[in-house]
Structure 1
Amino acid sequence: MRSTSHSVVLALGLILLTLISQCYGSPLYVGYYQGKCWNHNIEKIIFGVVKEKFEKDPTIVAGLIRLQFHDCIVRGCDASVLLDGPKTEKTAKPNLSLKGYEVVDAAKEVVEKICPGVVSCADILAIVARTSVFLAGGKWYYVETGRRDGVVSKESEALANLPSENMPVRDAIHLFASRGLTKEDFVILLGGHTVGVTHCDKFSHRLYNFHNTGKSDGRMHKGMLYEMKKICPRKDNGHNNKVYFTYNPRSHYRIDNTFYKQLLVNQGVLEIDANIGRSPLTNSIVKKLAYSPDYFYNKFGPAMVNMGRVGVLTGNQGEIRKSCRAANYYHKY
């Protein structure tokens, strides 16, 4: 049982943040903005912005987690996914369904008013993702900050680097390893699918023509297959219909281990989800996460921290944007 309430944990976390600067042997460290914005607690201010948005729309949790992932996995955690413009990352097909930009914009606007030109969009993206995880029932974790913003954003790089919903497990593990992330990081980060929705076009091949067999994916739970076919008819007009990643309505917007429990009974929606539940490379990790709620509760934050270290810009690299949607000077996307 977790006896400490979320509010108490948050209060302790924000107090400790003003007292410590925990370095991890990298240019990023916890408490980077302490003393850089007078006596303002930047993370507490951003927390308030996200909380207000979350109370109106809990779907932002999945959106903000996914937004940070789609940023970090391409050029590194440099907020390049936020840049507007022709042929930028956000114009790539896998990014067209991204949500949460308005939350980042709102946080940046508030921070710029009290501390202009200091807080990077890349750090804001990491902080809003952490805050949403906490508000959705996840464990508070300390965000390392000190990133600077990139000025290049290319659609082609997003298309080349973002993993597909059907990527084989071995290939996904290699992709994450190339970013300095472990196999366990990969499986735990995929647990972000415990919140939010996907669309029928992301998995309809499993319902009607799995790997060009003309049949359904035989691994899919029969009851789930029946329900998914009702939501996602074979006709094209059903491809944009939404499906929750988890069957349990109480878990739709909660950070918990329901996702992994479903994988063990063949109720993973996306092909990559189903694959990690069955692959000998990842099945033992999935079981550990499914059987122990506290294991996922304690591990998701550290996996997000690890992801947040990928390809960061620090020192004289990059810039601090005035707007998260535009670089401070002209460049070709």
Structure 2
Amino acid sequence: MGNFVPPQLLSGNAVLPSGHCWLFERKYDGYRLQLSASQDGVKARTRTGVDWTARLRPWLLAISDMLPTDTVFDGELCVLHAGGRTSFSMLGEAIKQGQPLCYHAFDVLLHRGASTLDRTLADRKVLLSTTLAGVTSSYIQAVDFVLGNGQPLLEQMRLAGHEGIVAKRLDGPYRPGQRTPDWQKFKIQRTEDFIAVGYHSNEAQGLTSLILASQGGDSLQYRGRVGTGFTSDERRILLTRLSASPSVQIPAAMPSLPDARWLRHPMAVQVGFTHIAPSGCLLHPVFQGVREDIAVLTNDSGSPLIWPGRS
């Protein structure tokens, strides 16, 4: 099956590169996932190496006969909704309910037993295309890309309401666990992961907002509250989940907020926003989903200890 390969990470940039040595592809809004195919089946690992094979077993069984043995793919697991948009907020529930999923493969790290890490991205894209050429299932597909100029694709993604695009150097090897300028992301809306350390609710609406923080070093920074972006079902499901978590006293560095309930078990959430105000709070925040693939470890008092970043 092969050992887990830490994924190459994306760096941010404000200026879109161009030229013959660059390719551009859509940035999908899902879970980064590494698939390893062998004679024993297909194994799935998250971006941090957590084994999700059991969680995704029905879907993995559906694609196991489509993939050559001794091959490892890098890609994004998504659920689609109207207009072909990927929905991060719907993905966790889709997995739990066994709903249709699609894996968008954008790289191949092992091909029929031979490592491809030192080969150029151009070579790896050819291998990926030929490997999945005969696969017609909606469960897995190779990511399309354009060469040279990514501006038209970025505008196309903007008009379609997608997350953004990724720029990659064609002549670069795969760099496990590294964040380099070879891979750059360009998001249409700024999206980051935060810690939900508490919430507000009332009888009329149920869940009204999540209280957000980010972690820098050993301290928390208050990032404001997010009260939009939830569907009615999400409000109901989240309130049930949050209500089951024991309460704690107000965490250090958090402001005193009337009627706030502070969580013994904080959770990772993804939030879209325009920018960060001088106060440190998010402007125009929109809830996008719970990061089920990221754990927030806490100490005995409920204060977050470890906050893994996202690629």
Q: What range is the shorter-chain TM-score in?
A: under 0.3
Relative contact order (C-alpha < 8 Å, sep 6+): which is higher?
1
More strand by share: 2
Task: Give the TM-score taking structure 2 as reference length.
Answer: 0.25
More helix by share: 1
